[in-house]
Amino acid sequence: MTSPERIFPQRIRSFIRRQGRITPGQQLALDNYWAKYCLDPEADYDFAQVFGHAAPLIIEIGFGNGESLAKMAAANPDTDYIGIEVHKPGVGHLMMLLDQQGLNNVRIYCHDAIEIFEHKIADNSLAGVHLFFPDPWPKKKHHKRRIIRPDFVQLLVRKLKTGAYFHAATDWQNYAETMLANLSAGSGLNNASPAGDYCERPEYRPLTKFEQRGMRLGHGVWDLIFRKQ
């Protein structure tokens, strides 16, 4: 796989590449299914040709182990999904799930999401973008690494179709408040919350095991949904 630093210039990133342990099953999936499910960050694609049909396209940024993305793809076979994740154990786990369930409406970039959005996603092309439980970078000195910044909001507006949505969820209240402020300040997006703040979790977003554990401990979760005007 080509190093991202050789494709795009260096900048402040919203993630750190961690060398997580890869299970034998994940490694098997990485070895056998990479060509089937993973997209080349250097290549240009017509996604209708990639999936074999024209359909609404939703991108999930930072899908973790991929369980939620696989559930959404299985529940919505007429929608196509692109998952973006930099950590190979999660990529391998998602490919395992896709193969086990016979899902063909998901493709994967193992790369920096911002660079994919900037260089590989056409303007006014996406039906939705999901960002579930991104790294909150809780220390104030690291807030500059948070992905929801004004420049990212404007990038979202460019890539979403009119009427399409951006859905974020976090279990860090401070990050939720910052997201709300940045998304509300960005031109071109309307908050789907009647109260102008947070939304109830939609049925299409599955509860993660991590989220369920947090709820049992009394932790809050904040969902934000904004639509392009």
Q: In angstroms, rounded to a whole number, what is the distance separating the alpha carbons of residues 86 and 113? A: 8
Residue linked to tokens 């991590």: 210
Q: SS in 3 state form for 48-109?
A: HHHHCCCCCEEEEECCCCCHHHHHHHHHCCCCEEEEECCCHHHHHHHHHHHHHHCCCCEEEE
Q: Which of 80, 135, 197, 223 is catalytic?
A: 135
User: 10: how many CB neighbours lie within 10 A of its CB?
Assistant: 7
Residue 158 buriedness (CB in 10 A; 0-12 / 13-18 / 19+):
middle
- Is-contact 101 29, C-beta < 8 A? no
- If DSSP codes are grouped into helix, strand and coil, which group holds residue 123? coil
Q: In angstroms, rounded to a whole number, what is the distance separating the alpha carbons of residues 138 and 145? A: 10
Catalytic residue flag (residue 135): yes
Q: In angstroms, rounded to a whole number, what is the distance separating the alpha carbons of residues 102 and 47? A: 19
Q: In angstroms, rounded to a whole number, what is the distance separating the alpha carbons of residues 105 and 213? A: 29
- Annotated catalytic residues are 135
